[in-house]
Amino acid sequence: MARKSHVQTTINGETVEFLCESRQSLLEVLRDELHLTGAKEGCNNGNCGACSVILDGRLVNSCLVLGVETEGKSVETIEGLAEPDKLHPIQDAFLENAALQCGICTPGFIMSAKALLDSNPNPTEHEIRYWLAGNLCRCTGYDKIVKAVLDVAKETSA
Amino acid sequence: METEKKEYKVIGTRPIRHDGVDKVTGRALYGADFQMTGLLHGRVLRSPHAHARIVSIDTSRAEAYPGVKGVVTAKDLPEAEDRVADLGEGAVNLKYLCDNILASDKVLYKGHAVAAVAATSPHIAEEACTLIDVEYEVLPPVLEVRQAMEADAPLLHDTLKTTSMGETADEPSNVASHIQHQLGDPDKGFAEADIIVERDFVTGTVHQGYIEPHNATAHFNQDGQLTIWCSTQGAFTVREQVAEILQYPISKIKVVPMEIGGGFGGKISVYIKPVAAMLAKKTGKPVKVLMNRADVFEGTGPTPASYVRVKMGATKDGKITAAEAYLAFEAGAYPGAPVGPGAMCIFAPYSIENVIIDGYDVVVNKPKTAPYRAPGAPNAAFGSETVVDELAEKLDIDPLEFRLINGAKEGDRRADGPVHPRIGCIETVEAAKAHPHYTAPNGKKHHGRGVASGYWFNIGLESSVTINVNSDGTINLIEGSTDIGGTRASIAMQAAEVLGIPAESVNPSVVDTNSVGYTAVTGGSRTTYATGYAAYEAAQEVKQKMIARAAKLWEVDEANVQFADGEFSSINGKEEQISFRDLCAQLGQTGGPVVGSGTVNPGGAGGAYATHVVDVAVDEETGKVEVLRYTAVQDAGRAIHPSYVEGQIQGGAVQGIGWALNEEYIYNDEGTMTNASFLDYRMPTCLDLPMIDAVIVEVPNPGHPYGVRGVGEVPIVPPMAAIANAIYDAIGIRMTELPMSPDRLLKAMGKI
DSSP string, B185-196: -HHHHHHH-SEE
Three-class SS of residue B730? helix
Exposure class string for B428-444: b at 16+ Cβ within 10 A, else e: bbbbbbebebbeeebee
CA distances from B566 to B470, B510, B534 (A): 15, 26, 20
- pLDDT for res B351: 98
Left, alpha or beta for B34 (phi > 0: left; psi -120 to 50: alpha)?
Answer: beta
Smallest CA-to-CA distance from B56 within B16, B105, B19, B92 is with B105
- pLDDT for res B147: 98
CA-based nearest distance B294→chain A, Å: 8
Burial-class residue A62 by CB neighbours within 10 Å (0-12, 13-18, 19+).
Answer: buried
- CB–CB of B517/B466 below 8 Å? yes
Residue of B nearest to A106 (CA): B24
pLDDT tens for residues B513-526? 999 999 999 999 99
Q: Is residue A156 very low, low, confident or very high in pLDDT (cuts 50, 70, 90)?
A: confident
CA gyration radius, chain A: 16
- CB–CB of B389/B221 below 8 Å? no
- pLDDT for res B573: 77
Q: Rounded to an integer, what distance in angstroms lies between the CA atom of residue B526 and that of residue B532?
A: 9
Lowest mean pLDDT among B5-14, B331-340, B522-531: B5-14
- pLDDT for res B6: 67
CB B702: neighbour CB atoms within 10 A? 14
Domains of chain B in start order, with CATH, are: 20-28+460-600 (3.30.365.10), 38-139+209-299 (3.90.1170.50), 141-207+301-410 (3.30.365.10), 428-454+606-752 (3.30.365.10)
Inform me whether the pLDDT recorded for A71 exceeds 60: yes
CA gyration radius, chain B: 27
Largest CA distance in chain B: 88
- Percent of chain B at pLDDT above 90? 95
Mean pLDDT, chain A, whole residue set:
97
Write out the DSSP string of B45-91. EE-SSSSEEEEEEE-HHHHTSTTEEEEEEGGGSPPPPS-EEE-SSSE
- CB–CB of B210/B264 below 8 Å? yes
Smallest CA-to-CA distance from B337 within B157, B173, B202, B174 is with B174
Q: Rounded to an integer, what distance in angstroms lies between the CA atom of residue B383 and that of residue B273?
A: 37
**Three-state SS sequence of chain A:** CCCEEEEEEEECCEEEEEEEECCCEHHHHHHHHCCCCCCCCCCCCCCCCCCEEEECCEEEEHHHCEHHHHCCCEEECHHHCCECCECCHHHHHHHHCCCCCCCCCHHHHHHHHHHHHHHCCCCCHHHHHHHHHHCCCCCCCCHHHHHHHHHHHHHHHC
Residue B508 or B84, more confident: B508
Inform me whether the pLDDT recorded for A2 exceeds 80: no
Judging contacts by C-beta atoms under 8 Å, the chain B residues touching residue A101 are: 262, 484-486, 644, 647-648, 651
Inform me whether the pLDDT recorded for B213 exceeds 50: yes
Q: What is the mean pLDDT of residues B663-689?
A: 98
Q: Rounded to an integer, what distance in angstroms lies between the CA atom of residue B175 and that of residue B359?
A: 10
How many Cα atoms occupy the beta-carbon half-sphere of B174 within 13 Å?
Answer: 28
> Hey, which residues 6-35 in chain A have their CB within 8 Å of chain B?
21, 23, 31, 35
CA distances from B235 to B268, B291, B373, B512 (A): 9, 19, 19, 7
Q: Is residue B92 very low, low, confident or very high in pLDDT (cuts 50, 70, 90)?
A: confident
- CB–CB of A98/B486 below 8 Å? yes
The domain locations on chain A are 4-79, 89-157
**Chain-chain contact of A45 with B32 (C-beta, under 8 angstroms):** no
Smallest CA-to-CA distance from B527 within B713, B697, B395, B719 is with B713
Three-class SS of residue B591? coil
Inform me whether the pLDDT recorded for B74 exceeds 90: yes
Q: Is residue B80 very low, low, confident or very high in pLDDT (cuts 50, 70, 90)?
A: confident
- pLDDT for res B87: 61
> Hey, which residues 674-703 in chain B have their CB within 8 Å of chain A?
677-679, 683-689, 691-692, 694
Inform me whether the pLDDT recorded for A83 exceeds 60: yes
CA angle centred on B646, ends A125 and A137, rounded to 5°: 55
- Percent of chain A at pLDDT above 70? 98
Closest Cβ–Cβ partner in A44, A104, A132 for B686: A132
Inform me whether the pLDDT recorded for B592 exceeds 70: yes
**Chain-chain contact of A38 with B646 (C-beta, under 8 angstroms):** no
For CA atoms B145, B150, B154, B156, give the dihedral sign: positive
Q: What is the mean pLDDT of residues B139-158?
A: 97
Burial-class residue B576 by CB neighbours within 10 Å (0-12, 13-18, 19+).
Answer: middle
- CB–CB of B380/B179 below 8 Å? no
Burial-class residue B308 by CB neighbours within 10 Å (0-12, 13-18, 19+).
Answer: buried
- pLDDT for res B86: 65
Judging contacts by C-beta atoms under 8 Å, the chain A residues touching residue B651 are: 101, 138-141
Residue A56, chain B, CB below 8 Å: the answer is no
Test mutation, B686, B693, B716, chain A, max A CBs within 10 A: B686
Exposure class string for B1-18: b at 16+ Cβ within 10 A, else e: eebeeeeeebbbbbbebb
Contacts with B334 (C-beta within 8 Å, 6 or more apart), sequence order: B93, B96, B97, B99, B100, B108, B363, B368
DSSP at B340: H
Contacts with A51 (C-beta within 8 Å, 6 or more apart), sequence order: A27, A39, A40, A41, A42, A61, A62, A63, A108
Is the pTM here over 0.90, yes or no?
yes
- pLDDT for res B1: 40
Q: What is the mean pLDDT of residues B697-715?
A: 98
Residue B662 or B86, more confident: B662
pLDDT tens for residues A4-42? 999 999 999 999 999 999 999 999 999 999 999 999 999
DSSP at B675: T
Closest Cβ–Cβ partner in B210, B213, B692 for A141: B692
Q: What is the mean pLDDT of residues B620-639?
A: 98
Top CATH class, A89-157: mainly alpha
Q: Is residue B84 very low, low, confident or very high in pLDDT (cuts 50, 70, 90)?
A: confident
- pLDDT for res B91: 63
Give residue B620's Cα distance to chain centre: 36
Inform me whether the pLDDT recorded for B2 exceeds 50: no
Q: What architecture (CATH level 2) is domain A4-79?
A: Roll (3.10)
- pLDDT for res B165: 87
Inform me whether the pLDDT recorded for B207 exceeds 50: yes
Query: At B312, which amino acid appears?
Result: M
Q: Rounded to an integer, what distance in angstroms lies between the CA atom of residue B718 and that of residue B722?
A: 6
Closest Cβ–Cβ partner in B19, B292, B650 for A143: B650
Query: At B748, which amino acid appears?
Result: A
Q: What is the mean pLDDT of residues B37-45?
A: 97
Inform me whether the pLDDT recorded for B284 exceeds 60: yes
Judging contacts by C-beta atoms under 8 Å, the chain B residues touching residue A104 are: 30, 210-212, 259, 261-262
Mean pLDDT, chain B, whole residue set:
96
Inform me whether the pLDDT recorded for A106 exceeds 60: yes
**Chain-chain contact of B262 with A102 (C-beta, under 8 angstroms):** yes
Three-class SS of residue B283? helix
Inform me whether the pLDDT recorded for B102 exceeds 60: yes
Inform me whether the pLDDT recorded for B126 exceeds 80: yes
